Chains A and B, each alone.
Chain A
Amino acid sequence: MVNTQWSLYSLIIVLAAVGSFYLWYERHSSSPKEVAVIATLAALAGLSRIPFAAVPGLQPTTFLVLICGYVFGAVPGFMVGSLAALTSNLFLGQGPWTPWQMIAWGLAGFCGGVIGRIKGKKSFSRWLLVSAAFFWGFIFGAILNFWHWLTFVYPLTLSSYLAAMLTGIWFDAVHSVGNALFTMLLGEELIKLLSRFKRRLTVSSLPVERLGREVIKENEKII
């Protein structure tokens, strides 16, 4: 007998994972400013799924999500990635792939956030980012193929999974190489741009009276 329930279980697990993340997010209130910025970034990442270049499989979504996570942190990164998947599918068509895309891109954003946290030389973290971008192309493919394999392929062995992966290997390769290229060529500039906005997101306010004193203090330091 063919074991078909695994496919259903896997879907339930993924949905529960995404759902619990969102529930967690619900409980952590965020400011209107943050809401607007996350929604905008997610919209940008989702929009970029519309083919950018004439090569099939090449789209900068994964790269953008990674960078957003890198600059804004793991949780916003996850939100941007998963929202981008869900909302862009409103236009491109929902399918059994939606929850898998949500978790794959969400995790990409999360991963970006983790890399952003790693202290170290700037060049090292950039190098890490490029390699993460490269591997996420394949990881993304692996996650998305997983359900497909679980549902439509029998027997469920490693070799059959690899065979299923193999059918999409071209797209995954383009995706990976594209990600790495995007990160190398455009990453630096985009990080700079987003960091500028992040600063504006987190500015604090001071009463003017106190300010006078602090400026004086700073001047004293300079002297």
Chain B
Amino acid sequence: MQSLQTLSLCSYLLVLFAGAVLLTHPLLLLVLLTALIAALAEAEGLKQWRKSLKYFLAMIMLVMIINTLVNRMGATVLFLGPVLPFWGRFAVTLEALCFGLVMGCRLLIVFSAFMLSNLVLNPDKALFALAGLFPRSAMLLALTAKTIPFLGQQMQRAGEIQQCRGVNYYRGSFLHRIKNKLPLIKVLFLSALEGSFNLGESIQARAYGSGARSSYFHVSFLPRDFLVIASSLGAAVLMLRLFQHGEGSYQFFPRMGTLIISKGQLVSAALMFFLLLVPVLLSRGWKKWDYFKWKI
């Protein structure tokens, strides 16, 4: 999947993301989630996904709790608490609970979509896609991204020196510990800024800022990119149609509505599922058949 161009990957990820944000219908969300998990598995990120699931779960729990507590539009009261000042009567309804659950599911999809994007999007490629529109900023971005790991190394080194000089970061009062960081911060800033002057010289000597830049890396679209963009667009259109017809959302309040509103909705969901699976299927295909890899 990494072989796809930034634009095609982005359109796919954007559709997944927009779906999670726009839709609230449990069935449609399930479609998104399933497609995402398949994509994560294809990008060999399932293990990592499962590992971070517990952090997601904590967030999801939080979302559920907030929703259950603040939402008092449901009719099926499960638990009636005391009257609280400023708040009114404390009540937990079945509908709010279910709504919280669905919201948690959306959160999970959003997180998973970004996890996928972190896995498959190459930041360098993304940068070059950006460079067309924002050449200076892209360069600034590249420079910053390159500097961070080097400074990290420098920080480690300077920290060791401070230790040798007798500074202890782990003892003393809280304020004392913050103060003890000052030498480290100063060393780091001084060295980094001194270095930045050399960096400035070097980029000036290599003609930076001498006029318009050209771009070496160019985007060559393969059939696979068009396929992915087309399928993503298709899924987006379906999504918008569902949204406009009110079939993208689900009625929670005051009482939960029926799950399937119309036949069309069901067909759209199935079609959307297929379209969202296109990149996954393509990726499978490249792995299995050379012919596929070369031709598409």
Other-chain contact of B188, A42, A44, A155 (Cβ < 8 Å):
A44
* Interface residues of chain A: helix, strand, loop or mixed (majority): helix
- With a cutoff of 8 Å between Cβ atoms, the chain B residues found around residue A83 in the complex are 140-141, 144
| B70–A160 touching, CB < 8 Å | yes
| B148–A40 touching, CB < 8 Å | no
Q: Given A44-B188, A47-B155, A160-B70, are A36 and B203 neighbors across the interface (CB < 8 Å)?
A: yes
Q: Chain B CB within 10 Å — which of A47, A91, A152, A190 has the most?
A: A152
List B residues 193-235 near A (Cβ within 8 Å).
193, 195-197, 199-201, 203-204, 208-209
**A33 touches B (CB below 8 Å):** yes
**B5 touches A (CB below 8 Å):** no
- With a cutoff of 8 Å between Cβ atoms, the chain B residues found around residue A33 in the complex are 197, 200, 204
| A153–B196 touching, CB < 8 Å | no
- What's the Cα separation between A62 and B114 when bound, in Å? 24
| B70–A153 touching, CB < 8 Å | yes
**A207 touches B (CB below 8 Å):** no
Q: Given A35-B203, A95-B114, A154-B71, are A185 and B175 neighbors across the interface (CB < 8 Å)?
A: yes
- B188 CB → nearest A CB, Å: 7
Chain A window 42-84, contacts with chain B (Cβ cutoff 8 Å), 1 for yes, 0 for no? 1110110010110000001000000000000000000100011
Other-chain contact of B196, A40, A79, A181, A190 (Cβ < 8 Å):
A40
| B144–A46 touching, CB < 8 Å | yes
Stretch at the interface among B177-185, B258-266, B278-286: B177-185
**A38 touches B (CB below 8 Å):** yes
Q: How large is the interface on A (under 10, 10 to 19, 20 to 34, 35 or more residues)?
A: 35 or more
| A25–B123 touching, CB < 8 Å | no
- With a cutoff of 8 Å between Cβ atoms, the chain B residues found around residue A205 in the complex are none
**B270 touches A (CB below 8 Å):** no
Stretch at the interface among A3-11, A104-112, A115-123, A129-137: A3-11
**A202 touches B (CB below 8 Å):** no
- With a cutoff of 8 Å between Cβ atoms, the chain B residues found around residue A31 in the complex are 200, 204, 209
- With a cutoff of 8 Å between Cβ atoms, the chain A residues found around residue B178 in the complex are 53, 181-182, 185-186
**B73 touches A (CB below 8 Å):** yes
Stretch at the interface among B34-42, B75-83, B103-111, B160-168: B103-111
- B94 CB → nearest A CB, Å: 15
Q: Given A36-B199, A96-B114, are A151 and B148 neighbors across the interface (CB < 8 Å)?
A: no
**A2 touches B (CB below 8 Å):** yes
**A163 touches B (CB below 8 Å):** yes
- B259 CB → nearest A CB, Å: 16
| A154–B99 touching, CB < 8 Å | yes
Q: B136: nearest residue on chain A (CB-CB)?
A: A26
Other-chain contact of B66, A7, A167, A181 (Cβ < 8 Å):
A167
**A170 touches B (CB below 8 Å):** no
Q: A161: nearest residue on chain B (CB-CB)?
A: B70
- What's the Cα separation between A34 and B117 when bound, in Å? 32
List B residues 21-37 near A (Cβ within 8 Å).
21-24
- With a cutoff of 8 Å between Cβ atoms, the chain A residues found around residue B237 in the complex are none
- With a cutoff of 8 Å between Cβ atoms, the chain B residues found around residue A160 in the complex are 66, 70-71
- With a cutoff of 8 Å between Cβ atoms, the chain A residues found around residue B185 in the complex are 60, 186, 190
| A44–B175 touching, CB < 8 Å | no
Q: B250: nearest residue on chain A (CB-CB)?
A: A2
**B190 touches A (CB below 8 Å):** yes
- With a cutoff of 8 Å between Cβ atoms, the chain B residues found around residue A197 in the complex are 193
**B145 touches A (CB below 8 Å):** yes
**B11 touches A (CB below 8 Å):** no
- What's the Cα separation between A32 and B23 when bound, in Å? 47
Chain A window 161-193, contacts with chain B (Cβ cutoff 8 Å), 1 for yes, 0 for no? 001100100000000000001100110011001
- With a cutoff of 8 Å between Cβ atoms, the chain B residues found around residue A194 in the complex are 189, 193
**B249 touches A (CB below 8 Å):** yes
| B73–A155 touching, CB < 8 Å | yes
**A215 touches B (CB below 8 Å):** no
**B62 touches A (CB below 8 Å):** yes
| A32–B188 touching, CB < 8 Å | no
- With a cutoff of 8 Å between Cβ atoms, the chain B residues found around residue A94 in the complex are 114, 117-118
- A76 CB → nearest B CB, Å: 11
- B295 CB → nearest A CB, Å: 33
Q: A4-B249, A22-B134, A154-B67 are in contact. List 12 more A-B contacts (CB 8 A).
A: A1-B246, A4-B21, A11-B21, A31-B204, A32-B201, A34-B200, A47-B148, A47-B155, A91-B148, A154-B71, A181-B178, A190-B186
Q: Can you report 20 A-B residue pairs in the complex whose CB atoms are below 8 A from each other? A: A1-B246, A25-B136, A26-B134, A29-B209, A32-B201, A32-B203, A32-B209, A35-B140, A40-B199, A43-B147, A44-B188, A53-B177, A79-B140, A83-B144, A91-B149, A93-B114, A152-B63, A154-B99, A185-B182, A200-B197
